[in-house]
């Protein structure tokens, strides 16, 4: 129950910040363009609290925290007093209306830059992408990669950390053509470069894992298979397992690493395992049957026990970077641009079928990720906030009626032709755009439910 409340709280706080920043962009520019703002609302429905400023603009926080809006004076939405007609949104020049529409997404981009700037100012750290294993016959093997190497770049772009490697490889999902990889041994400066040919690589795969898709297993230190905790009423408890037990073998196969045991259990849902373990220096045996759970369309086994935390990774495995204020701002701007382009490319790949639409997420997934990020700490949550802010900005700039991008298109058409788009055309287009957005939201929610 507590976890659910934390997840909901993290979701509401995250979404409220994103919406507040987005709507403030519209509000701030509208005021400076001489448009009268009637209401600034965070959330939909009946206001829980509200107040007015000296311009008689109502500020409200409503009970349904799934968005927000800025309501401006507009002759198309009701009667406007003649003395206030010049303050109406629809009376403004096309350039002003475009500026007001674009201000919301721009505010989200600015938020992302500021968050990333704070990250880079404080220094960034990540684990180097060291190769732990290469799958037989995989693209990684064809590229000549071997265990022990560190991948330093993909397509000429640096990959100092696991995160950067994943991002660079995700950019190529669904594509065909050459993929260049550069690697080196940790104690050497000699760079080994190779090229492999992609042919619709992982096209249509739901939730693609690009590292595994390349045939790579990233290096991880062995974790001593010693139990720290056994979950009550779990398969492990029923099998008599206790904290402090050391796993030795499963069905005769040596278990010298905790992750080897985890992989073994996952592949054997509802299947008995003959387990050999050591307790207080004495070797004992038992039978344990992993409980089965459906995850991402697969039956996965769980036994209900946790491992003793491993020692921290060696310092030599980490890559750390520090920036001054100007360098940090440049790096933050570059990352915001890169993630924006990546988001646009992902949308294009979904539309063209190169990327599975099952990767589209809705509010449930966002809530779960927000909650998990909050558990990992402020840094993880801020990183998610920046990424969601970029996604919100890009989606709103799509040329779809009812979205900011649609209003920008209306303004551009009027600028070029010298005539506004007729209200009848706008009404029909807005209905079509609304239907598209609703369908997209329903599909994203459907994906969320499947993931549950």
Q: What is the pLDDT of residues 205-229, one digit of tens each?
A: 777 888 888 998 888 888 889 999 9
Least Cα distance to 132 among 27, 58, 193, 212 occurs for 212
Tell me whether residue 3 is in a domain.
no
In a domain, 363, yes or no: yes
Same domain, 446 and 351: yes
Write the CATH number for 160.
2.30.42.10
208 domain residue, yes or no: yes
What is the reported pLDDT for 450? 66
Residue with tokens 């880079």: 120
Q: Is residue 416 part of a domain?
A: yes
Residue 400 placed within a domain: yes
Same domain, 432 and 393: yes
pLDDT digits (tens, 9 = 90+) for 182-204: 999 888 889 999 898 988 888 87
Q: What is the pLDDT of residues 96-145, one digit of tens each?
A: 999 999 999 999 999 999 999 998 888 777 888 999 889 898 998 988 89
The SS3 assignment for 185 reads coil
Pick the last residue of a domain from 257, 277, 307: 307
Of the residues 218, 247, 276, the one at which a domain ends: 218
Are 332 and 263 within one domain?
A: no
Cα 331 to Cα 119: distance, rounded to the nearest angstrom: 10
Q: Are residues 207 and 251 in the same domain?
A: no
354 and 375 housed in the same domain: yes
Q: Are residues 239 and 264 in the same domain?
A: yes
> What is the pLDDT, as a whole number, of residue 284?
94
pLDDT beyond 80 at 75: yes
Q: Please check whether residues 366 and 280 belong to one and the same domain.
A: no
**Do 243 and 200 reside in the same domain of the chain?**
no
> CA 70 to CA 47: how far, in whole Å?
14
Taking residue 364's Cβ as centre, other Cβ atoms within 10 Å add up to 17
pTM for the predicted model, two decimal places? 0.74
Where is the domain boundary, 307, 337, 359?
Answer: 307
% of the chain at pLDDT higher than 90: 39
Minimum mean pLDDT range among 58-62, 318-322, 339-343: 318-322
pLDDT at 108: 96
Q: What is the pLDDT of residues 364-384, one digit of tens each?
A: 677 777 777 767 777 788 888
Residue 6 included in any domain: no
Q: What residues are annotated to the active site?
A: 23
* Overall number of domains in the chain: 3
In sequence order, what DSSP letters do the residues of 377-437 get, joined into one string?
-HHHHHHHHHHHHHHHHHHHTSS-TTSHHHHHHHHHHHHHHSSPPPHHHHHHHHHHHHHHH
Could you tell me if 337 and 428 lie in one domain? yes
For residue 99, is it within any domain? no
pLDDT tens for residues 387-432?
Answer: 899 999 999 999 988 889 999 999 999 999 988 888 888 888 888 8
Are 379 and 420 found together in one domain? yes
Tell me what percent of the residues of the chain surpass a pLDDT of 70.
96
Range of the domain at 175: 131-218
Q: Are residues 383 and 418 in the same domain?
A: yes
> Does some domain include residue 147?
yes
> Do 449 and 334 have their domain in common?
yes
């Amino acid at each position: 129950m507590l976890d659910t409340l934390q997840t909901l709280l993290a979701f509401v706080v995250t979404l409220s910040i994103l919406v507040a920043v987005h709507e403030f962009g519209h509000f701030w520019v509208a005021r400076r363009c001489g448009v009268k703002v009637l209401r600034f609302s965070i959330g939909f429905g009946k206001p829980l609290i509200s107040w007015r400023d000296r311009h008689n603009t109502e500020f409200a926080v409503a009970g349904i925290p799934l968005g927000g809006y800025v309501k401006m004076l507009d002759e198309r939405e009701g009667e406007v007093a003649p003395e206030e007609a010049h303050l109406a949104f629809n009376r403004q020049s096309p350039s002003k209306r475009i500026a007001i529409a674009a201000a919301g997404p721009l505010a989200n981009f600015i938020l992302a830059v500021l968050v990333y700037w704070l990250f880079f100012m404080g220094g960034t750290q990540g684990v180097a992408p060291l190769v732990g294993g290469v799958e037989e016959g995989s693209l990684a093997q064809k590229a000549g990669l071997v265990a022990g190497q560190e991948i330093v770049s993909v397509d000429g772009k640096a990959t100092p950390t696991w995160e950067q490697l994943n991002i660079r490889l995700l950019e190529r999902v669904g594509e065909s053509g050459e993929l260049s990889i550069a690697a080196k041994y940790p104690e050497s400066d000699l760079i080994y470069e190779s090229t492999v040919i992609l042919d619709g690589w992982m096209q249509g795969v739901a939730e693609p894992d690009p590292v595994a898709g390349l045939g790579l297993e990233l290096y991880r230190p062995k974790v001593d298979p010693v139990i720290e905790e056994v979950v009550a009423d779990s398969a492990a408890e029923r099998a008599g397992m206790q904290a402090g037990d050391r796993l030795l073998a499963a069905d005769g196969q040596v278990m010298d690493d905790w992750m080897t045991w985890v992989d073994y259990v996952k592949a054997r849902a509802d299947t008995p395992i003959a387990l050999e373990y050591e307790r207080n220096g004495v070797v004992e045996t038992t039978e344990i049957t992993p409980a089965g759970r459906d995850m991402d369309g697969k039956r996965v086994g769980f036994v209900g026990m946790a491992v003793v935390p491993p020692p921290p990774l060696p310092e030599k495995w980490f890559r750390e970077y520090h920036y001054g204020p100007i360098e940090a701002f440049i790096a933050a701007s570059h990352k915001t641009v890169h993630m924006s382009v990546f988001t646009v490319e992902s949308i294009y790949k979904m539309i063209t079928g190169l990327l599975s639409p099952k990767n589209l997420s809705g509010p449930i997934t966002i809530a779960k990720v927000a909650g998990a990020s909050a558990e990992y700490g402020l840094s993880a949550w801020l990183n998610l906030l920046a990424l969601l802010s970029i996604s919100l900005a890009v989606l709103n700039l799509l040329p779809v009626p009812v979205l900011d991008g649609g209003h920008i298109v209306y303004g551009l058409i009027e600028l070029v032709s010298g005539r506004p788009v007729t209200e009848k055309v706008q009404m029909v287009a807005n209905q079509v755009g609304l239907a598209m957005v609703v369908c997209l939201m329903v599909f994203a929610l459907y994906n969320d439910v499947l993931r549950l």
